[in-house]
Amino acid sequence: DLEFLIEEGPEYVTAPTSEVWIPVTRDAFVSSTNPNTNYGFDGFVRFGFVPPNGLGAMRPMFYYDLTPYIPSTATIIKAELHIYLASVQPSGDSGRSYAAYHLAQSWNEGTVTWNNMPSWGSEFARSNLSNNVGWQVTNITDLAREWQSNPGGNNGVLLLGDERPDQNFEYAYYSKQAGNGLTPRLYVQYDNTMDTTPPVANVIQPSPAGVWSPPNFLVKWEGYDPNNPDGTAGSGIRWYDVYYSTNGGTNWRIGRAQVTTTETNVVGAAHLQRYDFYARARDNAGNEGPVPSGSGSIQTWTRVDASPPAATVNPLPEFTTSTTFTVSWSDTKELNESGVRAYDVQWRVDGGSWNIFVYDTQATSALFQHGANGKTYEFRARAVDNVNNTQYWPEGPQAGTTVFIEPVAFINQFQPNIYQKLDGPAPGDGFTVSWGAITPPGTSVASFEVRYQKPGNTTWLSWQNGTQQTSAFFELDVNDPDGGYRFEARAIDSAGQAGQFYAELGSTMIVDRVGPFLSPRAYMPIIFENANGS
């Protein structure tokens, strides 16, 4: 079922056309301690419970004759019982709760006692009596309407309080015999318009009909009571009923019943569910609008989007041959929901921290211009839909590519990486060096350049230049020193693009021809770091 919150909007109440103060016709109270004593002519009507040495339980009763004051054709809008508290015993009593009942039998003010008091019907009001001296008010609107519609059934009202034996309190109210202008009275607001036209009500939000809504949304309605056929004004709206349907009006359920407000909040509506709404009203003359029936009663409707979008970055090629490239994103899920209002896209390089690429955009692609050769760029996207459901950022990237605009050459690692001649240097000493390269898509290696450094020397010496070979024998001179010989390579591809020498892709051979000699324990690659950190 759809959940309507109790919290509602401003109250809509139609002002009455007439009001009247009705003096009490009969009043009295009865005492359990003195069950045969009549208190109908006492100056007070008393309420409470005083132990057996007092009056015991005290029950006040009041009777009002509405007939001389309110026309039978009138509509009672509000009725309030007003009684004036004269004193409280003990002083400082914290106030008392009570229940009000309609009396089921007639009674005589001058003869009613505890033993012959009339029976009473169901409870119609429950509230608290203040301990403050002055007027105290009880709403008896529903009971007064019954009295008006059935005067013969009007026997008055009885108040019952806490009558447990351990209680000790007495509230004394002025009776009609007090003669001081503070006697019990009934205040009634009513309308006497001959209203025969039902009021008109309409649900005005969600709007327009068919709009998408989040799972929590506001429903609003309005209404008016049209003029009668004779041109007189309507009696005004008393309350509204608001209905909803989840199947296009086939079945209707009451969402808010007999409310005087004009809005309410719906919470927890189901994803992709359609909700139809209808409102009707009752006026102060008792005319009611029709209950809903079928799809023709639908006044507005909405469909709920309770799920966030699922935006994703579209796939990128493994390698990109430009430092600028287009990144695109999409969300096919929202095609059948409220739709994407905006996208956010982030990027990062080589697994670093995320940066904003585009923010709060309706575009679905953009040109990325931060590329650098050999770097890997990753992207992720999220979206906000048209009812403000927001997608969480995915944990990792959704697409990525590596910028590859020039060939990358490398020296194959020496295995083993030590060249030893225990009998000393001689002509023809040396070792084989091999290399290779990878090239951007659509190209191939046109040639290589290979360079080297001698031990203790930072100067690079050219060795192979413009060669298409991938290996060669490096011959040592008999005077070449022992130590590490460092080799690096670069390539030129078929598009004429020259790569760089990468220190991390080079390799080192240790030459050991002059004693004392090294005793290898294990063979591991040696990585040299230049002063600039490369």
Identify the pLDDT of residue 491. Answer: 97
Going by pLDDT thresholds of 50, 70 and 90, the confidence category of residue 4 is: low
Going by pLDDT thresholds of 50, 70 and 90, the confidence category of residue 532 is: very low
Identify the pLDDT of residue 2. Answer: 61
Q: Give the whole-angstrom CA distance, residue 77 versus residue 75.
A: 6
Assigned token pair, 154: 């009007």
Mean pLDDT over each residue of the chain, to the nearest integer:
91
pLDDT at 12 over 70: no
Mean pLDDT throughout 23-48? 95
What tens digit of pLDDT does each residue of 420-451 get?
A: 999 999 999 999 999 999 999 889 999 999 99
pLDDT at 16 over 60: no
pLDDT at 141 over 80: yes
Q: Give the whole-angstrom CA distance, residue 90 versus residue 501.
A: 103
Identify the pLDDT of residue 131. Answer: 85
What tens digit of pLDDT does each residue of 52-95 get?
A: 778 999 999 999 999 999 988 788 889 999 999 999 988 888 78
Q: Give the whole-angstrom CA distance, residue 223 versus residue 239.
A: 10
CA distances from 365 to 325, 333, 336, 381, 530 (A): 10, 18, 21, 11, 42
What residues contact 487, with CB distance under 8 A and at least 6 apart? 411, 433, 435, 450, 451, 452, 463, 474, 506, 507, 508, 509
Identify the pLDDT of residue 14. Answer: 46
Assigned token pair, 36: 């045969």
What tens digit of pLDDT does each residue of 85-110 get?
A: 999 988 888 788 889 999 999 999 99
Q: Give the whole-angstrom CA distance, residue 495 versus residue 406.
A: 9
Residue whose tokens read 């950022």? 393
Identify the pLDDT of residue 235. Answer: 84
Identify the pLDDT of residue 286. Answer: 84
pLDDT at 33 over 70: yes
Which domains are seen in the chain, by residue range?
Answer: 3-10+195-304 (2.60.40.10), 18-191 (2.60.120), 312-403 (2.60.40.10), 408-512 (2.60.40.10)
pLDDT at 526 over 80: no
Identify the pLDDT of residue 1. Answer: 59
Identify the pLDDT of residue 5. Answer: 53
pLDDT at 15 over 70: no
Identify the pLDDT of residue 232. Answer: 81
Assigned token pair, 464: 């192979």
Identify the pLDDT of residue 209. Answer: 96
User: 491: exposed, middle or buried (C-beta count within 10 Å: 0-12, 13-18, 19+)?
Assistant: buried
Q: Give the whole-angstrom CA distance, residue 248 versus residue 266.
A: 18
Going by pLDDT thresholds of 50, 70 and 90, the confidence category of residue 129 is: confident
Identify the pLDDT of residue 74. Answer: 83
Q: What's the predicted TM-score (pTM) here?
A: 0.58
Identify the pLDDT of residue 519. Answer: 82
What tens digit of pLDDT does each residue of 173-188 get?
A: 999 999 899 999 999 9
User: 34: exposed, middle or buried (C-beta count within 10 Å: 0-12, 13-18, 19+)?
Assistant: middle
Q: Give the whole-angstrom CA distance, residue 137 versus residue 157.
A: 14
Which of 30-34, 282-286, 401-405 bottoms out in mean pLDDT, i.e. has the lowest?
A: 282-286
